[in-house]
Structure 1
């Protein structure tokens, strides 16, 4: 009984509160409000030991989630309390804005301590968005060898293989045997601890092949590396854009790949765990750009969010004026037949949806290198046929409904307008993104603005124009 009393007396009250209110995670594997509240209270009490004990059992990805759930002023306190838990996995999972807030809240010495625990690519990711003065202050506290590697990476443009690659790798000369390699891997204490393949290089440090660890373990010691290595490699240039890198990994099912400089010299490697993040970022970026929402990050500063969104709303305002001008031109016809005003939005709305569908397919095809100059004509003809079938189906449905509710002639007019607008929408959904891509612009950036203008304007013009041309009304 005495032991029980002692254990209760020594228990942390914050941990007791978490256990009393619920576990760390809910049914959907999200951190519970009770746990987050306990961490907040521990931080406010300046109890670093208690904070550490609460956070230490979490997976690095869950620690990153915890940072994002805290207020800006609390993130620096948490980072200071759990410095030795700030692994590369945590840094990689952090939201960009949250990572920047966390780094700015810490001293240069504290950030340098975190940087020295990370692989080069993760260290670069940690400090690359800071201003030059902060970067210099942090790097001044880092060991010279590590500092040189980070500065070398920062010299490459953002979102390129050179900026993303890991400098830490295993490379051996081509004259080795399998036994020599195994002895080298076991005896060299300075080698990295996690790797999937060994790169074989010539005297100029140019990669000539690679060996997976499974091959090395299953091959007799006296066999030469040149006899078992894979000579056909996918080499990544240092200046290759990260989106193209991700496509290479996906296309060739790569686990890792060598990165080479302009002279063909091996300078780093990329691994699939880095590429997963890139694929996620690029997919999210294209989706948000299609809507004109900027980065669309809930942690983005208000001023930046406002600036990113308002310019496209202003552009939409301008395109809406074009559609309004068409309506104004047919104002007399609308006055003669009020049903035209009732039915106009249907034509424009269906056309807009059809255009958005085609545009989304086209942007994805461009991003995945499925739509190139060699097959643009074929894709355009395919989407034209899809638009014809969709247009015919919707035209029959809306034509019958309008014919029954209003008049058969009006039903025929709206059916014809629907076919015209869906066909135009389908063509715009392909041609607008392709035009942006041909001009070396991101096809997702403003495609939706122009496609919306085309579908709305053409919808109103086709419907009202056909009504006048059929004699239902006069212009």
Structure 2
């Protein structure tokens, strides 16, 4: 696709094509140009739906989704209605969750149902699960019996589980069927899914016993039974397994697709790599945002939701900061008699905080990717202890020499060196032990670990530095 709309008429008559504006749509980074977006918005303000349709028709579905996200919230429903048949299921599946809610609220239930019916079950569920209960029922009542049953079944599983993200459309065959019979079956049955990478081989109870890749089927003589060419070793995904664990299995075993089974081991769906790519990105982003206490971290999130998600962590930080302030207050006389203490205090706390954050990020990632388990926890703690000691010695020497020279006080340099060394070691230990403890207690270590680590590094940093200063009689 080129950067100019006029490169392809996309079904317009010559006269209609001549009326299209000559405007560059995408920039060098493959993003919608601001001039193009402004022109669409101007047409929205003028209620020129015909021109909006002409401007948007040449875009890829992903670019249309981007256009919605760049459109003010109050105008998104209006844009969806103006696009008519361009507001396809594929576009809806590409759109950010918060933006999708704005669009669905503006569309009639019948159109939402039509769009949901065109999607894979997992994408349809992602659309319907965010609706209010009465809106869900209105949409489900319009859907056909099969689509409604599939979506209701998916909604019965826990959120972010394999049952929510799996697809129901798959190809399964008995092991007694020959390759030739399978090929003929695939050609005759027009109701089968057209997008799949492997055929699941099942027993009479519909329990998966193996898989056949399409490449094997195409290269095997027609008379060979599927049972002779299938791969019996396969990764089966329990229907209630958390989506993050599903993603880890795909990553560990390099899966393209995997069968999903119910509690009795029967085949109920399939999860494919394209579904997992989104999950991996989503889960990684969630962990980073949780570490910072930023909530969902989506710029399309309503302001009130962002406020609620963030303010509670700032309140918690206020509480931990008051603890550090209380410690400082206990050494008020020492600080007032030696200004250098006040100058150097933030260095000790800041260095410790950064060291703790580094260790915390490594530990949370290791827990999320199953690199850190009960079997290697002690080894991980020892490793971080050695790393912390190495960093502490290096930073302590630099800071100690610098402070001793600047303030012409070797004892002060030794005090800050000792305080930094101890605080970095404490930061390293807390950065690994706290998330491990939270994980063992079945709490998300990404959510609250940073609060505890910050409190420890700040409080201990001030206590160590000021305590050592008083003990050394330099004040």
Whether TM exceeds 0.5 here: the answer is yes
Q: Which residue number in structure 2 is paired with residue 328 of structure 1? A: 329
Q: Give the whole-Å Cα distance in 1 for the aligned partners of 2:146 and 2:377.
A: 49
**CA shift for structure 1 position 42:** 3.3
Q: Is the 8 A contact 1:80 1:110 kept in 2?
A: no
Q: Secondary structure at the match of 1:268?
A: strand
CA positional deviation for 1:8: 8.9
For the residues of structure 1 that align with 2:51 and 2:252, how far apart are their CA atoms? 47
Shifted more, 450-459 versus 93-102: the winner is 93-102
Among 454, 469, 472, the alignment partner of 1:470 is: 472
In 2: Cα distance, 1:260 partner to 1:197 partner: 16
Distance 1:33 1:262, change over 3 A: same
Deviation at 1:139, TM superposition (A): 1.0
Residues in 2 aligned to 1:126 and 1:75: alpha-carbon distance in whole angstroms: 16
- The whole-number CA distance in structure 2 between the counterparts of 1:106 and 1:12 is 32
Q: Which residue of the partner structure matches residue 449 of structure 2?
A: 447
- Secondary structure, in 3 states, of the residue corresponding to 2:259? strand
The residue aligned with 2:28 is: 27
Find the aligned partners of 2:15 and 2:219 in 1 and give their Cα distance: 56
1:102 aligns with 2:97: no
Tell me the TM-score normalised to structure 2 length: 0.95
Whether the 8 Å contact between 1:84 and 1:114 is mirrored in structure 2 is: no
Query: Residues 92-115 of structure 1, C-alpha deviation per residue, up to 9 Å, x if partnerless?
Result: 321111111111111101111111
For residues 44-443 of structure 1, the aligned pairs below 5 Å read 44-406=45-407, 407-443=409-445
- Which digits, 9 at most, give the CA deviation of each residue in 1:176-215, with x for residues without a partner? 0000000001110101111111111111000111111111
Following the alignment from structure 1 to structure 2, what is the Cα–Cα distance between the partners of residues 85 and 206? 41
Cα distance in 1 for partners of 2:262, 2:358 equals 41
Gap regions ≥5 residues in structure 2: 1-12
| Unaligned runs of at least 5 residues, structure 1 | 1-6
Q: 1:133 to 1:320 in 2, by over 3 A?
A: same
Give a deviation string over 1:43-87, Cα, whole Å, max 9, x none.
344444433332232222212111100112322233234454445
Q: In the aligned structure 2, how far is the partner of 1:87 from the partner of 1:204?
A: 38
- Distance in 2 (alpha carbons) for counterparts of 1:83 and 1:253: 41
- When residues 34 and 262 of structure 1 are mapped into structure 2, their CA distance, relative to the original with a 3 A threshold, is same
Say if 1:388 and 1:423, in contact at 8 Å, map to a contact too. Answer: yes
Aligned to 2:375, what secondary structure does the other structure show?
Answer: coil
In the aligned structure 2, how far is the partner of 1:210 from the partner of 1:252?
15
| Mapped partners of 2:138, 2:18: distance in 1 | 38
* Gap change, CA 1:191 and 1:9, over 3 Å in 2: closer
Give secondary structure in 2 for the equivalent of 1:175.
coil
Indicate conservation of the 8 Å contact 2:173/2:200, yes or no: yes
- After superposition, the Cα gap between the structure-2 partners of 1:143 and 1:171, relative to the gap in structure 1 and judged at 3 Å, is same
SS in 2 for 1:240: coil
Alignment check: 8 A CA contact 2:235 2:259 kept:
yes
Separation in structure 2 between the aligned mates of residue 88 and residue 286 of structure 1, nearest angstrom: 30
Q: CA RMSD in A?
A: 1.5
Deviation at 1:472, TM superposition (A): 1.1
The C-alpha deviation readout for 1:15-62, integer Å capped at 9, x for no partner, is 31xx2xx41101111101122122223334444443333223222221
Q: Check the 8 A contact 1:354/1:425 in 2, yes or no.
A: yes
Give the Cα separation in 2 of the matches to 1:81 and 1:266.
42
**1:10–1:242: structure 2 CA closer, same or farther, 3 Å change rule?**
closer
> After the TM superposition, which segments of 4 or more aligned residues of structure 1 sit over 6 Å from their partners?
none
Contact 2:397/2:417 (CA < 8 Å) preserved in 1?
yes
Q: Tell me, what secondary structure is at the counterpart of 1:116?
A: helix
Does structure 2 retain, via aligned residues, the 8 Å contact 1:108–1:138?
yes
Structure 1: how far apart are the matches of 2:91 and 2:252?
28
Contact 1:355 1:425 in 2 (8 A): yes
Aligned residues of 2:90 and 2:119 also touching (Cα < 8 A): no
> In 2, distance between residues paired with 1:216 and 1:43?
52
Residue deviations 1:428-464 (CA, integer Å, cap 9, x gap): 1001111111111110001111111100001001101
Once the two structures are superposed, residues 262-294 of structure 1 have per-residue CA deviations (whole angstroms, 9 ceiling, x without a partner) of 000100000111111111110110000001111
Q: How many residues in Structure 1 have an aligned counterpart in Structure 2? A: 462
The match for 1:3 is: none
Q: How far off is 1:312 after superposition?
A: 0.4
SS of structure 1 residue aligned to 2:268: strand
